Amino acid sequence: MGIAEWRGKLQRGEISARELTEATLTRLQAVEPEVHAFLEVCAERALADADRVDAARAAGEDLPPLAGIPVAIKDNLCTRGIRTTCSSRMLEHFVPPYESTVTERLWSAGAVLIGKTNLDEFAMGSSTETSAFGPSRNPWDPSRVPGGSSGGSAAAVASGSCQVALGSDTGGSIRQPASFCGVVGLKPTYGRVSRWGLVAFASSLDQVGPFSGSVADAAEVLQVIAGADPRDATCLKAPVDDYLSALEQPLAGLRVGVIQECFLEQGLDEQVKASVLAAAEVLNALGCELVDVSCPRFDDGIATYYVIAPSEASANLARYDGVKYGLRSDSGDKDDNLAVMTALTRAEGFGDEVKRRILIGTYALSAGYVDAYYKQAQRVRTLIRQDFDRAFARVDVLLSPTSPTTAFRFGAHTNDPLAMYLADLLTIPANLAGLPAISLPCGFDDQGLPIGLQLISGVLDEATLLRVAHQYEQAAAVMSQRPAAALVADALG
């Protein structure tokens, strides 16, 4: 059931928030040894949250929109009094003294914190294999990755260990794992949701968004977390639309652009291509007009991203120096100077992928290279945004696969960083342009693994994006056709 159904049962007294929370924790305990979606399970906190909801209902108070709903939080979002590690040894023992804006809004809306989820270290990765605390596994097939960097959040929702989860998306880190795990993943417009309290990877690209089992649930969460925040200078002050009321508005007359470059990629799996094109036909049957659209710079997105994102990461991660907070190496000599201590701390605290991206970014920003790499990448970023602007002059929504393939096996790309980076080939351009985008299931391959459909809309037009996605979801009913006993959670009861 979705959030609206659970809310109705809670309001009518057919179930208590404690009962729902206990059932969720029971499911989590059954599947977590196999899935490893969580770095920390907050069982006591969850039951206390649930009891407060039940007490409010018993007192006749109006329940807030997410009252009693079990929520998981990606472990790069600060939670006051609860460890926030970013899956890194560097922050293994860091306990924030403050709450991020998005989690603060969730708790004000009555949500119940189930726990903090696993991720690629500092959100740098596409498989959750770079986590310092071990990888999460895909609930559809534990021999395969759940995607990344928000793989733990996607796996938690897919395995029934929470109702919804928050992730962050820098180059596809919500949408790609949503595709791999057969759930809905939404990246809002850059600035639509506050980043205050999100541990920064690439500040001009990062955006917080929800994972859920349905588009309607994603809309429910976005309604709560969206909106201006004076603590985040990049957060937009634009009014927040009523996303839920927009879901059922008719699609007749909307134009859906099929991005031609996305279907010409050599690495695009034929089953993925066929499933996404079939989804386009479903939208056509619902009254949308399909339009072939070209975004000539789409393929340049990945090269552009892997200059800009590491450059920003190099600057953001300079704060981890062993002085202010986080890990401090004690392996040096007492007479070592500050530079030696900092070097030892960073060598011990950061994993290989984080070090690789810091080195790439530092090189791209160095004297003699900043013009050739970083500034040139910013120019190409502008061209990519202009391609999207031209496309949205003709259409309302753009359509593509979310990922070129379904979930790959553990270790498949571990020793080939370029192959790993290509997993985000189709999601990165939306981040570079700051556009909202969503991934939702549109079918299965011959291994029974889910395939993701990506939809992209114009700036701050999440209402249209969610409307198209919701009505496709209702018409296609993809999850009703899922392979029998596909999930680990199913096998464990």
In a domain, 436, yes or no: yes
* CA separation for the pair 397, 32 (Å, rounded): 37
CATH at 412: 3.90.1300.10
In a domain, 160, yes or no: yes
In a domain, 358, yes or no: no
Would you name the residues annotated as active-site residues? 74, 149, 173
Q: What is the pLDDT along the chain (493 residues), one digit of tens a residue?
A: 899 999 999 999 999 999 999 999 999 999 999 999 999 999 999 999 999 999 999 999 999 999 999 999 999 999 999 999 999 999 999 999 999 999 999 999 999 999 999 999 999 999 999 999 999 999 999 999 999 999 999 999 999 999 999 999 999 999 999 999 999 999 999 999 999 999 999 999 999 999 999 999 999 999 999 999 999 999 999 999 999 999 999 999 999 999 999 998 778 999 999 999 999 999 999 999 999 999 999 999 999 999 999 999 999 999 999 998 899 998 877 667 888 999 999 999 999 999 999 999 999 999 889 999 999 999 999 999 999 999 999 999 999 999 999 999 999 998 888 889 888 999 999 999 999 999 999 999 999 999 999 999 999 999 999 999 999 999 999 988 776 545 555 554 4
In a domain, 318, yes or no: no
Tokens of 393: 């002059």
Tokens of 201: 């990877």
In a domain, 223, yes or no: yes
In a domain, 372, yes or no: no
Separation in Å, CA 317 to CA 78, 101, 122: 16, 21, 9
Which domain covers residue 61, as residue numbers?
Answer: 3-248+402-491
In a domain, 40, yes or no: yes
In a domain, 422, yes or no: yes
pTM of the model: 0.96
Number of structural domains in the chain? 1
